[in-house]
Copies of this chain bind each other. A is one copy, B any other.
Amino acid sequence: MVAQFMSLKNAVATCVQDGDVIAMEGFTHLIPHAAGHEIIRQGKRDLTLIRMTPDVIYDQLIGAGCAKKLVFSWGGNPGVGSLHRLRDALENGWPRKLEIEEHSHAAMANAYDAGAAGLPCAVFKGYRGAELPRVNPNIKFIKCPFTGESLAAVPAIRPDVTVVHAQKANKKGDVLFEGIVGVQKEAVLAAKKSIITVEEIVDDFADIPFNAVMLPNWAISTIVHVPGGAHPSYAQGYYKRDNAFYKAWDNIARDRDSFKDWIDQHVMNGGPEDFATRLKMHNAKAEA
């Protein structure tokens, strides 16, 4: 039951099965891109992909044909524009038709919270006067038994596998998150299995604050050391967001062929070790 350290290849091969429900989280920060590439490389299929903001990481997985369904609340390239692979899948069914289950951020955040809390559903003040409940049967309304107030309910998120990136693990396999922590902790606690890629493995966590955001080793399945594994997202204390890449992605993903070329070159013929290299190039460019 205690977290096992393994290679990214092994972690994905062991934890992720075709048809699984997968959550890959990280709110701008600490997005597990290296793990996303490994899932593409291993040709996983029919995945239900859950993520509040399916940005570039899911544009890649969707364009590569890994996804059967997307559960999400905001699908764009933040500050840049559309996710062209997502739109191509939704508007044209390429490379395959993509089912969607669409929520608001508040609903998804509450659904992760409920998943971590072992509840079957989340109850919140949401979707009032909004139209999503008309098109998403997984949004219902219940009444507060004390006040009669109508409250929204959505099913808890309970992924087969949650994949996140964190700054540090210690040698025992406890994991530390710092900065914008998003819904990562909830997503891991809500899942049956988890893969956590980390920037660094340290002997122990000396001098960290009492109330740090952490996961103990017995709440994690696998830990993988992938320096730079969040690039082009960022890791607070390690490297900055590669905003230029997010902008460049707009052109890469706009066209099916240029997308496929990019995936061939950087994913199919790449590996997790490339992320440290990419980071060096990014840092060199940032300092130039």
Question: Which chain B positions have C-beta within 8 A of A151?
Answer: 119-120
Chain B residues with Cβ under 8 A from A117's Cβ? 124
Q: How far is the CA of A274 from the CA of B206 in the complex (A)?
A: 37
Majority secondary structure, A binding face: loop
A140→B146 CA distance, assembly (Å): 8
Contact B125 A146 (CB under 8 A): no
Of B120, B125, B145, the contact of A153 (CB 8 Å cutoff): B145
**A123 within 8 Å of B (CB atoms):** yes
Query: A79 at the A/B interface (Cβ < 8 Å)?
Result: no
- Distance A195 CA – B236 CA, assembled complex (angstroms): 35
Number of copies: 2
Could you tell me if B145 and A178 are in contact, using CB atoms closer than 8 angstroms? Answer: no
Which of A30-38, A53-61, A210-218, A260-268 lies at the binding interface? Answer: A210-218
Cross-interface CB contact of A155 among B141, B142, B146, B179, cutoff 8 Å: B146
Instruction: Using A138-B146, A142-B145 as known contacts, say yes or no to A124 and B119 having CB atoms under 8 A apart.
Output: yes
Contacts of A210 in B (CB 8 A): 178-179, 236
Query: Looking across the interface, which residue of chain B has its beta carbon closest to that of A210?
Result: B179
Q: Smallest distance from the beta carbon of A26 to chain B beta carbons, Å?
A: 15
Q: Are A121 and B140 in contact (CB under 8 A)?
A: no
Q: Are B178 and A209 in contact, with the CB atoms below 8 A?
A: yes
B124–A147 touching, CB < 8 Å = no
Q: Does A144 contact B (CB under 8 A)?
A: yes
Contacts of A121 in B (CB 8 A): 144-147
Residue of A123, A178, A179 contacting most chain B CB atoms (<10 Å): A123
Whether A146 and B124, one on each chain, are in contact in the complex, defined by CB atoms closer than 8 angstroms, is: no
In the assembled complex, the Cα of A211 lies from the Cα of B29 at a distance in Å of 14
- Whether, in the assembled complex, A181 has its beta carbon less than 8 Å from a beta carbon of chain B, the answer is yes
**In the bound complex, how far is the Cα of B147 from the Cα of A196, in angstroms?**
30
Interface string of A121-145 (1 = CB under 8 A from B): 1011100000000000010111011
10 additional contacts, CB 8 Å, given A144-B153, A146-B153, A209-B212? A120-B146, A121-B144, A121-B146, A142-B142, A178-B209, A181-B211, A209-B211, A210-B236, A211-B212, A211-B213
- 20 A-B pairs within 8 Å (CB atoms) are namely A117-B124, A118-B125, A119-B123, A119-B124, A119-B125, A120-B151, A121-B144, A123-B123, A140-B145, A140-B146, A142-B145, A144-B153, A146-B155, A178-B210, A178-B211, A181-B211, A209-B209, A209-B211, A209-B212, A211-B211
